[in-house]
Structure 1
């Protein structure tokens, strides 16, 4: 399990996020009150100088302005299957949502769409690991730990501007 060592609050147009880092990289990014939020973290607050948390804030600011950004190093804690799914989410381009079924097929796990959906829902790095880009087979918005209104807002932003991770 990843051990968070430092945290920072980051304001966004969709509400504040808590960013946490491990020794290896960004380990969590949660909206207040989102499902699977770990609650208050018993780790120090960043003094504004941590390079991973600064890179996270910079990436989020660029994202919400529709500008290219570089991801900070990522270190989400999860099972091997969850980490595989989370890596695959990074391959879904902005403005081109994918379905749970197609994502499962791409991973060679066509019969594991439900397990894949559970892994997507447990993504601990909101926005930057784009679990919001996964939709139902009919294109409908289905579950998002940060709430469906935020999922719609993120997808709308990406549909109107070309947001790209460098």
Structure 2
């Protein structure tokens, strides 16, 4: 009787940073998971949970996807080999995914926005969203809908408690 080998690596996601403003400013059409090409000091800085995705966006140049504007601060114990905090980083996606992204961004004016950065089985991954910018009235409608839903939930809770 043979048993399947189990890996000692954890498979759960360890969140490093999240871009909450992206879900407010953009309508998310599709989400992709991409690997990131990093240097050693960048990984060490990320292990400390330090990163900012606020100004981040991705571009497609010559069939490759690059992440711009993501801030990973320098590693304090790093030496002269330390990295530049806002350097352009290459993203690792399958060829089919890249071709699909090229088609979507060219035809309909969609943009690529990083939603979160996390560790998955020891590797750094970025959750990349294909998104369309919202207008201010769309944002107001979303806020009003969320408030209305919250009020309905409160009313149901009160009714269930018999108040």
> Which of structures 1 and 2 has the larger relative contact order (alpha carbons within 8 angstroms, sep 6+)?
2
Whichever structure has more strand as a proportion of its residues is 2
Is TM-score (shorter-chain normalized) higher than 0.5? no
For the aligned pair, the TM-score class normalised by the smaller chain equals: under 0.3
The two structures have a TM-score, normalised by structure 2, of 0.24
Structure with greater Cα Rg: 2
